[in-house]
């Protein structure tokens, strides 16, 4: 009996440890910056640094830029693959400001994805417009969707500023 209690107690403790160590967005954001404001106070200076290394993205394909109407520029980000499908966004920049984010591809791999992406994507877009960068928090419960969105967004911004 004592061994059973020890085993189960140890399991619960281990689970809590493992999950809490992963409980911040480990998304490799721009400039190789440490994870989001949710956990450690990141130094603000780094977030504005324009010298960005290429973000770690798996199986990216080429992306391009195009000009929209009236002096604004539309930049398409790389396709980010994940277990739940591809993510790709296009950013519309007007006079250097992000004015629109278009979802070109989002993780769409069965019923679960549709349930998650529905509420998550608009939230990510509105946060992007507020932050004017890819330094946004992931949406709770939509880790993969958020990660794919943020990576693709960052790659679009890099291309725009390159």
Partner 1 sequence: MLGVERRSAPVAPPFPPSRPAAREGACDGAPARRRAAPTIVLLVITGGLLAVLALWWSDTPSVHGLGDYLTGAGRILGLMAGYGVVVLVALMARLPPLERGLGTDRLTRWHAMGGRYVVTIIVAHALLITWGYAVTAHEGLINEAGTLLISYPDVLMATVAGLLLVGIGAVSARAARRHMAYETWYYLHFYTYLAIALAFSHQFADGASFASDLKARIAWAALYLLVAALVVWYRLINPLRNAVRHQFRVVGVRRESADVVSIYIGGRYLDELQAEPGQFFRWRFLSRNLWWSSHPYSLSALPRPDVMRITVKDHGDHSGALGDLPIGTRVVAEGPYGTFIPEQTGRRVLLLAGGVGIPPLRAMFAMLPAPVTLIYRASGPGDVVFGDELEAIARDRGATVHYLLGSRDRLGRDPLTAGQLNHMVPGLHRHDVYVCGPAGMTDSAIAALKAAGVPRKRIHHESFEF
Please report, as ranges, the residues that interact with partner 1 according to CB under 8 A: 3-4, 7-8, 11, 15, 18-19, 22-27, 35, 38, 81-84, 110-112, 115-116, 138-144, 147
* CB 127 to partner 1: min, Å: 14
Q: Which two tokens stand for residue 67?
A: 């000009």
* CB 151 to partner 1: min, Å: 10
Distance of CA 2 to the CA centre of its chain: 45
In the complex with partner 1, the residue whose CB is nearer, 7 or 131, is 7
* CB 40 to partner 1: min, Å: 14
In the complex with partner 1, the residue whose CB is nearer, 22 or 97, is 22
Q: What are residue 80's phi and psi, to 5 degrees?
A: -105, 120
* CB 41 to partner 1: min, Å: 18
Q: How many CB atoms lie within 10 A of CB 123?
A: 16
Contacts of 10 (CB under 8 A, 6+ apart): none
Q: What are residue 151's phi and psi, to 5 degrees?
A: -65, -45
């Amino acid at each position: 009996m004592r061994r059973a209690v020890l085993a189960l107690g140890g399991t619960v403790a281990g689970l809590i440890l493992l999950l809490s160590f992963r409980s911040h967005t480990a998304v490799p954001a721009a400039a190789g910056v440490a994870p989001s404001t949710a956990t450690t106070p990141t130094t603000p200076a780094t977030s504005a640094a324009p010298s960005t290394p290429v973000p770690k993205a798996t199986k990216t394909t080429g992306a391009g830029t195009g000009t929209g109407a009236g002096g604004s520029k539309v930049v398409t980000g790389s396709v980010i693959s994940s277990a739940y499908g591809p993510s790709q966004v296009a950013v519309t920049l007007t006079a250097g400001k992000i004015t629109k984010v278009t979802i070109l591809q989002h993780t769409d791999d069965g019923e679960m994805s549709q349930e998650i992406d529905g509420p998550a994507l608009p939230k990510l877009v509105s946060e992007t417009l507020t932050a004017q960068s890819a330094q946004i928090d992931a949406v709770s419960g939509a880790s993969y969707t958020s990660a794919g969105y943020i990576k693709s967004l960052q790659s679009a911004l890099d291309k725009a500023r390159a």
